[in-house]
Structure 1
Amino acid sequence: MKKSKKFLTVTLASAMVFGALTTAALPVGAVGNGPNYNGNESIRTSILTTYEEMVDFLKKQEARQANLELEVIGQSVKGRDLYVAKFITNPENPTILFLTQQHGNEQLATEGALEFIKHLGTNKTKGVLDNVNVIVVPMLNPDGAMGDVNFSTDNYIADGGRHLTRANANNVDLNREHNKDISVMEPEARALYENVFEKYEIDYLIDLHHQGTQSALDNKYVSGSILYPTNGEVDPHVIENSKKLGAVVYHEIESKGWGLLGKYNGGSGDNIGRNGIAKRYGIATLLFEMRGMSDHTNPSAVLGQKSNGYLIKQSIATLDSTVRAIADGSIETVDTSFWETLPFQRNKVAEEEGEEDGE
């Protein structure tokens, strides 16, 4: 049974600062219908943050930020430390967890999460962080992110010195581990469960992924898609809170004018994160699938690097809006009626159908 959490009032000044993080001008339709939508533009993994660069960044931010504490929750198959960034000012506050890169070839959400961690360290955000706890798992699958795996990556298409794989080093999809006994999970998933879910009282979770490039609504490419838990054993109250979490994200992205979100056509299995976590722990979960992957064996799944900037901004907007809504309590009254009419996205090309398209 979860203990009650308090909701405090975020200061207007802090809210304005958080809002300023995502107000940089972007062209209308940039994410949904911007350049390079066919995945044929240059794709270089060398411009993406490496695992070592991420660790260095996190340690420097920890040294600069009074509210930030890093924790190593375990090791990957190849022995890389798995880091968690924590902003926990009051255990009684509601807590949100952001999880990125269960799939190693889906990195732009991680780039956005790292940028958001830096912004959380500014003095102007203190009014927000006093009212909500934030936990970020910025790269759950570092072996896949670095292409340091026990299987061939010859068919992956990106250039830049390394490939990024969906699976972990053992060629296991970490987002299919969530209904297992913790003791038999892959090392990365086991560390997440033993040292995050079993240790911290988490109220909300956003699982950030990337899908292919060809998903569309009314023949317009989407910038991403969202979905709440759809497993029949998830508590209805948890599903309702998950829909509220999605509503915050939907209204934020739609208000920008450059994003277009559809409903993700996902499965109901409890081996998937948004279902299994909600079922096991009663955590409100939201899947967010951003457009385009960083590497893949299928060219239509990968988005050219010119799209990176605004997709990273979309990730930051997602984190920003949900933290603010939880901190000021507005998530409790957000309008969720859009879920009743939000259409499922559809792929423009048949070959992209299937599990590799996202979640």
Structure 2
Amino acid sequence: MKVLLSLLVFCASLAWAGPVPPSPFEKSAQQALPSSQEIGAYLAVLDELSPRARLVELGKSAGGRPIEALLMSNSDDFLTGFAPQQGKPTVMLLGSQHGNEPSSAEAIQLLARQLVMGEHHELLDKLNLVLVAMANPDGRDLSSRYNATMDNTNIDYVALNAGETRLLVDALHTFQPDVVYDAHESGIWKRILTKEQGYLTDVDAQFDMGNNPNIDGELRTYTEQYLLPALLERVSTAGLPAVRYRGEITDIKQSVARGGLGITNLRNYAAMQGRISILVENRLDNKQGSYDSPRNIVERVRKQLLSMEQMLRLIADEADRVTRLSRQARQRWRSAADDGQILWMGVGFEVNKHEPVVSLPLVRMEDGKRKMHSFSNHDAIAAEEPVKLAAAYGITREQARMADWLRRHHITFEVLEAPRRVTIERLVIERLAVQPKARPGVREKLQAVVRTSPQSAELKAGDLLVPTDQPMGPLAALMLDPRSANSLYQESEWNWLAEGEFPVFPVITP
């Protein structure tokens, strides 16, 4: 039946000389944003119309709305069993993690429709696609940054409090993408910059990739030195000025850096697992502007679609290298340090000594003229407190709760059935430095000053042992170690940091 429908669609496209069927957004004459239910129904239609498509429900949002992935592939093995293929990257595209940034959800539907119609056929020859048009359907229907229970799922990738975040983490492990593309919009109107200082930001597309210094060394070098510059060039050449992400400019007097270094965001969380991870922030136009469509939504969707298409073409051209580096990193993580096994517990931004000041454009509200402004440039990444990756981590507190958290992350662990004598690195917190402001680039609220000493210890029955010789091992270490700026204990519901011996510690000899 799907084959027959696909032939009918193809014939219809020849007769109509246009896209069939139109998306709900197109049906509204590009004036009204459809609901999450309408988008879901449209994705189901595309599933029925094409043998190259399969709609998979990932689960339900906090508000009970379906979160779905539309798989697009020429491979039956991928569509039915999600099996990775040699030299053929799997690319996961996520739209609207923030529900009030809707253009990416519309662009993903348009991309899917084009693929169903046989356009971009060369992409499906080289790529398997996982299209999540609405990562936050509650936010979509509520026109909110948050889900129905007011969780900001975009920064929840350590604590995993929100069901939506857990579903996306599950999807990473189900589909094993080599590339993760997270599409956002960035408003040009800022409270201080615009309302008090009279300027709007001036950027059409800005991109960043996983930048935490603990990402696999070879993968990070490739994305930083080749893939990101190549993507900026392609998008710019296609007519959309693209720049490296400079973060949110909210005040003329601030410094600028890059996208955050923390693993609470999807970009670094996915990259720490050995995946090429790309962030795009396209322009979210001012509400008070005069446009041909509401808040310039037609143009915003066009920019998102162009950005996605250029990214996919680049990944298709780089298919062999992308799959080799990504799958190699997932099989065996190697840091950029000489011995390949060093984790940096302290990370943040500092002044770029080679380029301490950068000039960036802003638009003056009073006359709409573009003006360059100088900003202190803090985009140099500081990596501090090197720690050799231990063989395992022992957990001696709230073991059942910790076990549930580890399962949510798909981290393998052992529950001891009997006491076991091990050699550990004893961690004693001597003092806590309260950060008046979170360290730039991460969400570190308390900095633990820790004294270490090797010793023999006995783990009890029921204690947990988390080996680091697993794909999630380095990421687990960064989340479990109290010295880490990215640790679980920076999250309010895991407030374990206190002076004295810490109940989670590296195990040297399990």
Distance 1:294-1:234 versus aligned 2 partners, 3 A rule: farther
TM-score (norm: length of structure 2): 0.49
Structure with the greater alpha carbon radius of gyration: 2
1:13 alignment counterpart? none
Structure 2 residue 146 is the aligned partner of structure 1 residue 167:
yes
Residue in structure 1 matching 2:63, options 78, 84, 101 = 78
Question: Quick check: 1:318 aligned with 2:303?
Answer: no
Aligned match of 1:271: 264
Other structure's SS at 2:158 match: coil
Q: Which runs of structure 2 are paired with 1:75-154 in the superposition (5 Å)?
A: 75-88=60-73, 89=75, 91-92=84-85, 93-147=88-142
How far off its partner does 1:51 sit? 0.6
Q: Summarize deviations over 1:317-339 as a string: whole Å, max 9, x none.
A: 12212222222337959xxxxxx
Cα deviation for residue 238 of structure 1 reads: 2.7
Shift in CA distance, 251/198, structure 1 to aligned 2, threshold 3 Å: same
Q: CA offsets, 1:66-120, max 9 Å, x none? A: 1111100010011111110112325312111111111110100111111001011
For residue 231 of structure 2, give the secondary structure of its aligned residue in structure 1.
helix
How far apart are 1:65 and its partner, in Å? Answer: 1.3
Residue 122 of structure 1 and its aligned partner are, at CA, apart by 2.3
> Are the structure 2 counterparts of residues 75 and 347 from structure 1 closer, same or farther at C-alpha, using a change threshold of 3 Å?
farther
Give yes or no for the alignment of 1:250 onto 2:225: no
Say which of 35, 40, 43 aligns to 1:55. Answer: 40
Q: How does 1:38-49 map to 2 (within 5 A)?
A: 47-49=32-34
Residue 220 of structure 1 deviates from its aligned partner by 7.6
Which of these residues, 168, 174, 179, is aligned with residue 192 of structure 1?
Answer: 168
Q: Taking CA–CA contacts closer than 8 Å with sequence separation of 6 or more, which of the two structures ends up with the larger relative contact order?
A: 1
Question: Which range is displaced more, 307-316 or 98-107?
Answer: 307-316
Question: Are the aligned partners of 1:253 and 1:314 in contact in 2 as well (CA < 8 Å)?
Answer: no
Query: Are residues 241 and 231 of structure 1, via their aligned partners in 2, closer, same or farther at CA, if it must alter by over 3 Å?
Result: same
**Counterpart check, 1:286 vs 2:272:** no
Alpha-carbon offset, residue 260 of structure 1: 4.3
1:195-238 CA distance string (max 9 Å, x none): x111122111111111111599xx98211211122222222223
Secondary structure (helix, strand or coil) at the match of 1:123 reads coil
Paired residue secondary structure (2:267): helix
Q: Which residue number in structure 2 is paired with residue 25 of structure 1?
A: none
Q: How many angstroms apart in 1 are the aligned matches of 2:178 and 2:359?
A: 27
Q: Give the Cα separation in 1 of the matches to 2:153 and 2:321.
A: 31
Give the corresponding residue for 1:237: 218
Q: For 1:344 and 1:105, how far apart are their aligned partners in 2?
A: 30
SS in 2 for 1:198: helix
Q: Check the 8 A contact 1:264/1:345 in 2, yes or no.
A: no
Distance 1:270 1:124, change over 3 A: closer
Distance 1:250-1:214 versus aligned 2 partners, 3 A rule: farther
Return the alpha-carbon distance in structure 1 between the equivalents of residues 238 and 127 of structure 2.
24
Provide the C-alpha distance between the structure 2 equivalents of 1:228 and 1:172, rounded to a whole number of angstroms.
Answer: 24
Which of the two has greater strand per residue?
Answer: 2
Contact 1:108–1:294 (CA under 8 A) maintained in structure 2: no
How far the C-alpha of 1:263 sits from its partner, in A, is 2.4
Whichever residue aligns with residue 104 of structure 2, its letter is: A
- 1:257, CA displacement in angstroms? 3.3
Distance 1:228 1:293, change over 3 A: same
User: Counterpart amino acid of 1:251?
Assistant: E
Provide the rounded CA distance (Å) in 2 between the counterparts of 1:316 and 1:193.
Answer: 25
Q: 1:222 touches 1:262 (CA, 8 Å); kept in 2? A: no
> How far is 1:345 from its partner?
5.4
In structure 1, how many angstroms separate the alpha carbons of the residues matched to 2:122 and 2:140? 35
Whole-Å separation in 1 of the counterparts to 2:361 and 2:151: 27
SS in 2 for 1:178: coil
Deviation at 1:275, TM superposition (A): 1.2
> 1 or 2, which has the higher helix percentage?
1
For residue 199 of structure 1, give the secondary structure of its aligned residue in structure 2: helix
Return the alpha-carbon distance in structure 2 between the equivalents of residues 83 and 232 of structure 1: 32
Partner of 1:211: 186
Task: State the identity as a percent.
Answer: 21
8 A Cα contact 1:210 1:293, kept in partner:
no
Q: Which residue of 2 aligns with 1:337?
A: none
Which residue type is aligned with residue 270 of structure 1?
I
Q: Which runs of 5+ in 2 are unaligned?
A: 1-17, 19-29, 79-83, 194-199, 248-258, 323-353, 365-437, 439-510
Provide, for residues 296-331 of structure 1, a one-character-per-residue CA deviation record: whole Å limited to 9, x for no partner: xxx79xx97252222212211122122222223379
Given that 1:263 and 1:345 are in contact with CA atoms closer than 8 Å, whether structure 2 keeps it comes out as no
The correspondence for 1:225, drawn from 178, 184, 206, is 206
Instruction: Identify if the C-alpha distance between structure 1 residues 293 and 171 changes in structure 2 by more than 3 Å, giving closer, same or farther.
Output: farther
Equivalent residue letter for 1:166: R
